[in-house]
Structure formats: structure tokens, C-alpha cells
Structure 1
Amino acid sequence: MFGQKIFIGFLIFDIFGKISAILHKINGAFDENEALHKEFDHRTMHDDIRSLVGNILFKIQSTSCIGLITDSIYQKEVYMHQFIQSIDGRMLLIMSIKDSEAFDEKPTKKMESMLVSMKARNCKFYMILVTNGIQMVNFLRYSDSKRLLNTEANFIMLHDYRLFVPDLHYIWKRIVNVIFIRKCDVKHSNWYELSTVPFPASINEVYVSRIVNYWTMNHYRWKKTLFNDKAHQSLNGVVLNVAILPHTPSVFRHLGSDNRTVKYSGVEIGLVNTLSKIMKFSINFYEPQDAETEKWGHRTEYGNFTGLLGEMDTARADIALGNLHYTIYHLDVMDLSLPYNTECLTFLTPESLTDNSWHTLILPFSLGMWTGVLVSLFCVGMVFFLFSNIYYFFTTKNKPSVQTKPVKPKSLIIRDLFDDLSTCILYTYSMLLVVSLPKLPVRWAVRVLTGWWLLYCVLVVVAYRASLTAILANPQPRVTIDTLEGLAESSLKCGAWGEESKSFFTLSPDQVSQKIGTKLEHVDDTDEAIRRVVEDNFAFFENRYTLHQLRFQHDQKHHETKQNLHIMEQCVINIPVSLGFDKNSPFKSRMDKYIRWAVEGGLVSKWLMDAMKTFESSVDAPPQEALMDLKKFYSALIALGVGYFMSSVVLIFEILHWKFVVERHPHYDKYYKRIVFPTILESTPAKITYLS
């Protein structure tokens, strides 16, 4: 009962908490709506804005598409004759924002599709005439998060102090070609101030605009160009924050000559240094605070990111270096440059050498070959026996039985080498081992057969010796996994960094990849992953360059161990690699051009060769060939041991036969062991047997 009361109490407390949260949200919504209504009531339209905007549009003739975003205050103004005349036949896309649109939730599909259409038609000029500052802030945040605006275009906006709060400073690092229109104070009431963001200078805690010009009485005060392509100009030494994550072959971390300062090298470091020299900006390299544990980072339950992705998601970094793959997952957080390289992603698997030394003697022939040799051995022995006895039968069956001399027992009559079946098997076996016969057979048919059998034996022996020599000279075959099918069928567990890798396998239409995805684990520590690979129960997924480095480091630390690491030959996927830029970065198109030049000029290939030069010895090299050792001779020792064992068994059997059969025979005489005596059942004719 007491437990039930506690549970009911917690349930009531939770319900009241949810109700209070809902009421707080409703009150907040009412407060926000009240603020919006006050903002709507105080909106005013400037009379001379129409002529000023028309003059700006008339001077800008380089664009063929103009995107106009307006509200109910300026909606009618865009249809005035003077404004339409300033368009001068260019494409004009107009989007009207409702007064009730707050952009805190998903806007209407019509509005989103209109913004997408403006960007798809490559509109190089946006004119945003929205008098509500709160609505304007929400619109900029929404369009930036969804990448609905072409940030490389030129913008005209109405000046509002709420656009320059610290929480919105990241927008003006992305939209740099912008003109803000503001009506001056009472003293110069007929003047309009045209200002812009202080790019390329960085915006500190306080935003300070840069005056471009003034407009009054249908003319400008100074003869200046309103829009300069700031992203394609020299950056004048502005400092760009570059977040880096050491990862092969993009970034390497090492100590300087004083063993205190940290320096970086690698392919992406070379690219950024080249871009800084061309575009004349300074670099502030830094590693995220949680780079050691989070590395690239992941999305938390609150929707934000950790690690390197967190630096780009919060706009703290302008450029990200860390072997970023060109994937949708990364594109949701940042912009990616033109791919500078394509990497092979595969698995690092354990490798073992097959210890087949104990059966080296049977390796030269396959199972079918051995079966054929043994069957031919038995069959040829039978043929020798038949040839010899058939000839004897036909030559002796019609002779008269006249005996002028004492007749020897039949078992003591030695006619030819191949008259006895056991002797035939023994002699054919000896010829196969290249042991000569004691003498040639008497009968010519058996002689001819002996010659052809010797020719067959020579061919078999030559083939066996050649194959055995090749086996002894070659290294031991390695047991490796080189295909996805082999990895999926093996008992090895798989590991990779991040849930993105697991999703890649589990969402693949290939059943083999899905099977690997079911046993793929998230790996935080590469050292732990290598340890598990060495223990012969794990496979690690990474790019081939990183796997070469890990294998090289393992060989350097544990060169005395016999466990080898193998990089799977089949590439799971060849994926492009890019630099990471701040979302909607104005530098992207310019930097892409220089990156393309670096790739075409061979600089990236040169930096990649320099980065991997240290790990060139980490290749799949076979062991030393043509080296005969005792391990390869195990098969001969095993054969000798088998011979010892079988001979011992036969010796014991002969001793037992002598003790329990020969010595108990009634004709046995221990004083005349070498005398011939009958040793067969009394019901059969007597047969003479030699005693050894």
C-alpha cells in the first residue's frame, strides 16, 4: 500500500508539472503574439524607398533573376510602374510573407518551394523588404538552417537593430554582400544611410556597421560601388578559425623541435596553408576540447552536436579538417568542399598462417590424384598376377603327369616374380618408389607390362617431386578474409566509429552488408580495436591509409608477436573526402576553384605520398621463400613415426602369433625351429610352410 501511494503521488506530481509547462508555453505564445501585434502597429513605410530600390536595381544589370521577399506593407509598392520599369525585363520572383508567419514552426510548402525556386534559378540578387524586425530575424534563421538562400548573391534589407544582436552575428559571416537601408534622424530626415557588414574584419561582441554611401534627393553622396564581391577579394589577414581532428592521412599531430609546441601536417593542412597564401588570410588551428573522446561527434538528445561537428554546428569554426566524408550526414551540419581525394574504406582483419607442415607429403597431389594412384597401384598388381598365372595355366594344363623326380610341394615351387598376389602388390609398390626389381620377369607379356608400368611410375614420381619441391620452397599459405562475403560468414565481430557507419551497413540493400551491420559495434578507442583484432575475434572498419598506419604501429610495438594483421583487399566503398566549411560559407566557390587546381596540379598526390611515406613498409609481404627449416620437415618425421608405429604393431602381432599359434601347434618342436612342418587344419590338404 505504501508503495502504491508513493507511485500515485509521483504520477500526480508529473501531471501537474506537464500542465504547468503547457500553461507556461501558452502564456509565452500570448506574450510573443502581443509583441508581434505591437510591432505590426508601429510599422511604417518610407516614401522614398521605392525610388532608392529602383535606382539600385537599375544599376545592377549583371543578374538575370531577382528574388523579392516582402510583406503586406511593401507588397503593393512592387507593382508600381516605376518599380516595374527598373526591373528592365529581368526575371522577378516575388514571395509575400504573411503577418502571422513567425517561422518558429515549419512554414507553408508554398513559401518553402518559392525560396527553393529562387535558389534553383540562381538568383544573384535578393531584395528583402520586411518591416517587422522579429519576423525578419526568424526568417533569416530559418532560411539559413535550411540553406534556402544563395549566400553568394547580393542582398538589400531594411535596417533593424534586432538584426545585429550577438546571437545573429553568425549570419553576417555568411551573408556578406548586403546593403542595409536606414532612414536617418530628424536632422537629415530626407537622407538614407546605406551600410554593410564589416567584412572581412571579424565581428566582436559589438556589431559596428560599415557605411557604404548616403542617398538623398535621387542621388548618392559619393561615387562608390555599392556591391563589391567581398568573398573574392583579399581577406587582408583576417583570422579564420580552423578546427582540426588528427586523422590519417588528413592531419598528423607531432611535437616541434622544442618538444613543447604542437605542429600539424598532412594533406588537408597543406591544402589550407595553400589557400591561406592565395586568399591572404591567417589560420588559427585548434582542436575541440572533446576531440579525444568525441572525435567527429554525434547528435545528442537535445539536437546539438559534439566534437568536430559541434564546432561547425555552432559556427565557432570557419573550416573543419578531419578526413570528412562527402555524405548527407555531414552536409546537414556544414558545407563540404570539392572532393580532393577518394578513399577506400575496408576492414582490418586478423591473419593466420596455415600450419600444414605435418601433411606436406600428401600436399603435392589432390584427393582425386591420390585416389587414382592408389587404385592404379592395386589394379596393376592384380593385372600382373593375372598375366603371370594365366600364362602358367595355359602352358601346364595339357602336360602328362609323368614324374621321374621327387615332386616338391606346390608352395615351394617358385615359378616367377609375379605368381603370388602379395608379391605383385609389393613389387608394383616398390617400382612406384623407384626401387628396381631383383630380376626381370621370365614371361614376355609380364616384361612388356613391367616396362609400361615403369614409365607410368617415372611420370608420377617426377610430378610428385616437382610439386613437393615447389611446396617446400614457397611460403606457408595465409588464411585471410578478402571479401565481404567471407567476413559476413566468419565468426568475427566488426567495429567502426559512429552510428553513421552502422547505418551505412544496416540500410544497405545488399544482404551481405546488412548481415555485417547486425554485428557492427561502435568503437571509441582505436588501440582497443587493434587489441581485439590481434586477439583474432574482431575486424575494424576504416580507410586504407589509417589501417596501414595502425598496422605499422602494431608491428613496431609488437614485432616479436606472430599475429599478423591483414587489410581486406576488397573495398567496401570508395568515398570522396572534402574539407568542411561553415554552413552557407561565402568562400566555398572560390576555395573549390583553388582546390581543383591543387588536385589537377598534382599537389594533393604529392602531399599524400609525403604523409604515407613513413608507413610504406606496412605492406602484405610474404615470408622469406626457398628456406627449408625443421618445421617444413615435420611431414617426413611424421611419416617415419607412422612407420615406426606400424612396424611395432606388426612385430607385436608376429610375436603373439608365434606364442599362441606356432608354439601350440602339435607338430611344433622347439629343438628344430627351422624345420619345415605342416601348419594347417587337418581337414585340408597339408601345406608346407617355412619357419623363420
Structure 2
Amino acid sequence: MMVLTAPWMAPHIVLPLLMAASWCGFHGVAEVRQESPSPTIQHTLINRSTDNITKALPTPMMSDHEGSHSQDNRRNYETPTLFSRKMLSSSSSSQRIIGMRGQSTGTAGIGNSSISQRDSPLNDSEEASLTALLTWVVRRELRPCSLLLAHDPHYAHSHVLNSLIHLPNPKQVVVAREAGDLAGVLWQARQCRGYIFLFHSPQPLLAFTALSDDLWDFQGRYVVVGASRDQLYTLFTSGKATNTEHLLGIIRGWRDGEWSVYSHALYSGGSLLVRVSTWRHSAFTTTTQLFRDKLRDLRGAQLKVVTFEFEPSVLYYRDSSGALQFPFGIDIEVVRALSTVLNFTVVFEEPPSGELWGVETENGTWNGMVGKLARGEADIGVANLFLTMGRQGAVDYSAPYDAEVSCFLVRSDPPVAPWLSLALPFQLATWLSLLVGLLLASFLLLCFSAAGTNSGDKSSILSPTHACLYSFGMHFREPQDLLSRQSSVRLIISFLWLYTIIITIAYSSNLTAFLTVTRLHPGIDTVKALYASDMEVSGLGIFFKGALASAVDPYLQGLAERFVSYQDLKVVWEGVKAGRAAYLHNRQFLEFVITTQFTSAQGGSTMRIMKECFAPYSIAMALQRHSPLKAKFDRVIRWMLESGLVRRWFLESLRLSRKVKTKKTSEDEGNSNLSRSEGDGANTRNSGFIPLSISHMQGVFFILGIGHLISLLVLISERSYEGIKKQVPFVLDYDDEK
């Protein structure tokens, strides 16, 4: 029922219309209330004409069939369906039209004479005191709010309801005989929303709390009148009330005109009912704020946080025996910061083994973390939780405090053998070109020298072997003691020197880079290449399979068909190490895993992240549906992001986790290795030089060893040849004959 006041409706307009409507005999019910200085209220039922009333009022109105009270005629604020007229007899003889909407009442509703003022559950003193109390609450605590006044027939003609109707707040009035009468009365308003329930017995309201959560306004301010302490306790412990911050219960006191105001303590392990104050006739006995901010300071209340170890968001620090000492990580630090600001105590719990975040079962319920939140067994859930619509109906999300993209982790191909670094500065085609150039230069030197010999030049190159050695020595920038007197030979040698200088400088410069930097084989770096490789795509749970299937890229959609879900990362790592699979997860997690598990003391890693990633996601914490904590949490999270704390916590978690991983091997050795590694890194950053190790120079020793081996073979061949000459007389010595 909605109340509209229309001071322009004067008696000389209203009375003729009502008389005409009664004479015409049209069906419908209108209620005429006449007020005078006397508290007596007279009720008169008259017939009205819908057509005549429509002409008289600026807003179109509809009438219900007489005697019907089951039809729902709730409409928008601008088009009330059930209306009543109240004629006020006062010194000014002012008249007001009160438009009412809500549950249709007909003759069995407000106009039912079987429920009169004598049936009111309150005496005059109690009614006057309650009227003053509720008027004070509306004017002080609900002044900017739109109101819903819900009452049972016992309060239909009470002075309490009449006084509330005349308050200036926008309002609607509903007669509630059962829980179904309250369904659908929620309405949207830009300002705050207040709900006042006047019941002789609050059974309709208690039954209403068992209906769908969508029918309840969790941000509204509620005032319940007429419940006993036991009934109020039942109401305050309902699922809807535990997630509603502003809820008051008014109970009749022991003294005449005394009312006790109770509220409920959110997230409190003690008594749920909290006495706020006591009202006696016209004032509270103590100064208090009825709708105070209960979440600004939770006063050490225990909040259950469901989480599990998932690096780097949640990590466990364990002692030497394996016992858990404390959790740490990005998500844990976010929760601890919230607990410090809002003053609550954190109790960590884990979901059942293997369920992790949880999935929706066949019967529509959830298991895992989401299931514990949906059943009210926990208050907060954190563990690198992506903000997705799939879980939106089961939990609420806080404001995101981190963002990530989905990437693939693949095996790093073994690096190129260091001894091959001597050949890496030039490509194969370049080496072949240099060989051809060497042979060509030797041939030209021989030809030009032969021409000079014919002309009498005795210093020229006389044999092919001599020409090749001469050209080969120039490529190594070694000076030659033989210089032809022929100008053409000198000219070709000059250009050959220029050619070899450029080649040797280019080779030496590039060789330095290949000696100091580990060269890796080219691997898979794009989604297209991964799709063409026929590798398995692994992941935890089925979340990333949906991300692949919903992607626009056809190659990503194809990878969704090869996606295999696992619950144990150890099994996943075996497939990735063997090169059979690529693991899909967010980049931050993959960076952490590579740093802490797959990076050697020398800095080499057996895993790498593909360059091409997809699907950015926001990371948030999960809360119970309609949790009153969300607004406070969102505000504090914004402070964290503005101050850069989240990134700092990630770096601290990374360092601490690496120390923990090293400590598992050997505490003393791990600390010394960590210090040495940090010291070497600092020296490298400060000096900018990288000393060459034996691993860098093994190619040189490889060539030296090959040279020694070839020389030994030649020596053995020469000795064998000398022995053959002695044993076989007819073997001639070429030098002797010469």
C-alpha cells in the first residue's frame, strides 16, 4: 500500500463525487476515515464509481472486486491500485486523499468492521508510547529513507499506523496475513530503504525469512514490532538476518508505556540479542544510535577463512618436522590487512581433500571452498580465486586486488652445447661462403704468382699447398714473410687483408656474446605452434577448459579439446618435464613455480613460459551471498591497491618461499648459497662484467684436444711409414731421388 497526500482535494469536491458514486452503485470499495480531535475513528464503507474517481484524481486508479483480498495489485509508485480517503475534521477542516497500494484487501482488509479499535493488541498508553517511539525512529534514523509499512489486520486502524502514514517519507503500506503477502513488495529507491513490521504475531515474517533470498533487502533497515524474545531470537538467527546489518526488534517492557529495543550482534560468538536502549513513554533512557555501523569495529570476532596451499597466493611455512607454523602469501596478507583494519580474528580452515575451489555437482550444490561458503560454514574464501560468472550464484566476490593473464608453461629445450659456441657466431651458409672464399683466394694467389714466376719473380708462391697456407694464415691475421714483387699479387693480397680483418673482427665480437650467453634451441612460443605440436594441455580443475572453449581464437578452441584436468600438480610436472604436455595457469603462479622449483643455483631453468598468453582475469576473495562485509572489504582493498601493497607482498612471499625451499635441502648450505647468489648478482649488477668460466671456454679446449689427437695420429702414421721403408727396400724415398 502506498500513501499519497493530496491537500488540493477539498470537501466540496470529494463529497459530491462519493455521493454520486454511491448512487450509481458501481462495484468497488473506498474507505472514508474522519478524524477529529477525539481519538474515536469512524469507519464508513461506501460504493464508488471507478469512472468518476478517475476523473476526479490526476492519477489513474483501479478498484478490486469487493470482498477479494487474494489478488496482488502492487504497481509502481505513480499508479497506486488500492486507495482510501481520509477526511480530517479539524479547525481548518483540511482533507487529504491517501493513496494506498500493496496487498489487495477489499472489504476483508482495512474496511472489515470485524476488526475494530477494540481488537488492538495495545492499550492506550502502550499505543501512545509505541507511536512516539516509531515516530522518533523514522524522524531521527530513517528521515531520508523510503518506507514499507507492513502490518497485520490488528494494526489496520491503530493510531500507530495512522501516525506513520502521515509522516512525509515516501512509503507503501501492505496488509500481511501470511508470508506470501510480503513477497514482491520490495522496491527500488535511490535513497535508503526502511521496513517497519507491525504484527500481533510475527509468524508471517518468520515464514517469509524462509523464502528466496531475492525477496529480501539485505541493505535495508528493519524495525520489527510485536515479537517475543524467543521469536526475535529465531528471526535474528535466520539466514537473512545474519547477513543484514541493520535490524531492530521492539519488545513490550514490564512497565506501562515501556519498550525495549534490541539489535543483533553480527559475527559474535556470544549472545545474539543485544539490548540497545529502553523507551519510556516519550524518550530513551540512554542516548544511543539505533542503526550504528556494526562492521567498522568487529571487536575481535572470529571469521572463518577457507583456503588451501596454492603458491604463490597461499603458502605454508613448516618446521623441520613438517608441522604447519603459519600461512603466508598474497591472499593471506590481504586477509591479515583486513583483519587489522576491521579488528577481527582470522581462523583458517581447509576444504575437503582434493576439492580445492569446488565444482557444481549434479544436484546443483557446490563442494570445496565455494560449497563451504554457500552453506554458511565459512565467511571468506581465498586461494588465487578468479572472478568468474560461473560461481556468481553461489558466492559474492570482493573488489579485485590483483589481475593476471593465462599462460602456458612448457619445457625448456636443452641448451646448445657450449663447445659449439665456436661455430655459432656464423650461420652455416656463412661458413660455407668463407670456405669458398678461402679456396678462391688460394687459387688466385697461385695463379698470379705463377704468372710472376714466368716473368722472373722468384719470391712468388710456387705450390698449391703454399698458397692455401698463405691464405689460411691471413684469415687468422698472422703476418706473412713472403711478399711478391709483382704489383698484381700485392694488390690482391692487400684486398685479401682487408677482407680477413673484417671477418675476424665480426667473428671475435659475436663469439664473445655466444660464450657468455646460454643459447637455447628455438621452442614453442605461440598458440598456433602449440596446437600444431599435438601436446596435451594440462590444468587444475576445469576452469581453464571453459576459458579455452569460450575463446575467439580457433587454435585456443582446438586446445580445449585436448585439455586434461588434474588434481595433483606432481602428475602435471611429470608430463611437462617429459615434453608431453603444456600446463595452463596464470602468469604469476607460473613465474613463482619456475623460480622456486625449476631454477638451478646457476640461474638455469628447465621450464619457461610461452610468449603468447590470453584471457586476462581479476583475482578477488569469495564471500557468502549478500555478505554485509563486502562494502567494508571493498573499501580497504582499494586502499591496498593505491598504496602498492599487493605487489610488495608478492615479492616478499617469493623471497621467503625460496628460502623455505632451500632450507629443506640444507639449512646452513642453503643460507650460504642464497647469500653467495645474492652477492654474485649484486657484483654483476654493479660491475656489468661476467667472468668466463670453464663451461664458456670448453670449445677452445675441445679444439685443442682435437688438434692433439690429429697430431698424434699423424705422428703414428709417419713412424709407421718409416718402418715400412726400412723393411721394404724397393720403397723409394722421394726426397732421396730428388
> TM-score higher than 0.5 here?
yes
Equivalent position SS for 1:577:
strand
Report 1:315-330 matches (<5 A). 315-330=376-391
- Contact residue 598 and residue 605 of structure 2 kept, 8 A: no
Match of 1:118 in 2: 188
Q: Which moved more, 1:339-348 or 1:518-527?
A: 339-348
Cα distance change of structure 1 residues 492 and 285 upon mapping to structure 2, 3 Å threshold: same
Cα distance change of structure 1 residues 225 and 297 upon mapping to structure 2, 3 Å threshold: same
- How far apart, in 2, do the equivalents of 1:647 and 1:74 lie? 121
Cα distance change of structure 1 residues 149 and 374 upon mapping to structure 2, 3 Å threshold: farther
- Contact residue 259 and residue 279 of structure 2 kept, 8 A: yes
Aligned match for 1:500, one of 537, 543, 548: 543
- How far apart, in 1, do the equivalents of 2:233 and 2:542 lie? 38
Equivalent position SS for 2:503:
helix
Aligned length: 580
Match of 1:353 in 2: 414
- How far apart, in 2, do the equivalents of 1:460 and 1:330 lie? 64
Report 1:277-296 matches (<5 A). 277-288=340-351, 290=352, 292-296=353-357
- Letter of the aligned partner of 1:68 in structure 2? L
Equivalent position SS for 1:231:
coil
Alignment pair present for 1:613 and 2:655: yes
Match of 1:577 in 2: 619
Match of 1:151 in 2: 218
Match of 2:630 in 1: 588
Match of 2:362 in 1: 301
Match of 1:517 in 2: 560
- How far apart, in 2, do the equivalents of 1:301 and 1:372 lie? 69
Q: Give CA deviations for 1:305-343 in whole Å, capped at 9, x if unaligned.
A: 111111100011122233333333344332333333445
* CA displacement at 1:452 relative to structure 2: 1.6
- How far apart, in 1, do the equivalents of 2:558 and 2:737 lie? 71
Higher RCO (CA 8 Å, separation ≥ 6 residues): 1
Match of 1:59 in 2: 139
Report 1:127-138 matches (<5 A). 127=196
Cα distance change of structure 1 residues 279 and 414 upon mapping to structure 2, 3 Å threshold: closer
- Contact residue 536 and residue 562 of structure 2 kept, 8 A: yes
- How far apart, in 2, do the equivalents of 1:461 and 1:349 lie? 38
Aligned match for 2:303, one of 226, 230, 240: 240
Runs of 5+ consecutive residues of structure 1 not aligned to the other structure:
1-39, 396-412, 655-669, 677-689
Alignment pair present for 1:636 and 2:706: no
Alignment pair present for 1:366 and 2:435: no
Aligned match for 2:401, one of 330, 337, 340: 340
- Contact residue 535 and residue 582 of structure 2 kept, 8 A: yes
- How far apart, in 2, do the equivalents of 1:294 and 1:463 lie? 59
- How far apart, in 2, do the equivalents of 1:94 and 1:643 lie? 107
Equivalent position SS for 2:264:
coil
Match of 1:310 in 2: 371
- Letter of the aligned partner of 1:87 in structure 2? P
Match of 1:462 in 2: 505
- How far apart, in 1, do the equivalents of 2:734 and 2:299 lie? 120
- Contact residue 347 and residue 568 of structure 1 kept, 8 A: yes
- Contact residue 265 and residue 273 of structure 2 kept, 8 A: no
Runs of 5+ consecutive residues of structure 2 not aligned to the other structure:
1-105, 121-126, 662-676, 722-728
Cα distance change of structure 1 residues 225 and 385 upon mapping to structure 2, 3 Å threshold: same
Cα distance change of structure 1 residues 467 and 231 upon mapping to structure 2, 3 Å threshold: same
- Letter of the aligned partner of 1:499 in structure 2? I
Indicate the percent of aligned positions where both proteins have the same amino acid.
Answer: 19
Q: Give CA deviations for 1:115-162 in whole Å, capped at 9, x if unaligned.
A: 5x717x353324568999787567645652x4x755233124576788
What TM-score, normalized to structure 1? 0.65
Q: Which moved more, 1:609-618 or 1:629-638?
A: 629-638
Match of 1:535 in 2: 578
Match of 2:486 in 1: 443
- Letter of the aligned partner of 2:514 in structure 1? I
* CA displacement at 1:59 relative to structure 2: 1.3
Report 1:82-101 matches (<5 A). 85-88=166-169, 90=170, 92=171
Match of 1:627 in 2: 693
Alignment pair present for 1:169 and 2:222: no
* CA displacement at 1:507 relative to structure 2: 0.9
What TM-score, normalized to structure 2? 0.61
- How far apart, in 2, do the equivalents of 1:517 and 1:541 lie? 11
- How far apart, in 1, do the equivalents of 2:179 and 2:141 lie? 35
Q: CA RMSD in A?
A: 5.7
- How far apart, in 2, do the equivalents of 1:339 and 1:358 lie? 50
Equivalent position SS for 2:146:
strand
Cα distance change of structure 1 residues 360 and 320 upon mapping to structure 2, 3 Å threshold: closer
- Contact residue 360 and residue 635 of structure 1 kept, 8 A: no
Report 1:99-114 matches (<5 A). none
Cα distance change of structure 1 residues 74 and 366 upon mapping to structure 2, 3 Å threshold: farther
- Contact residue 417 and residue 423 of structure 1 kept, 8 A: no
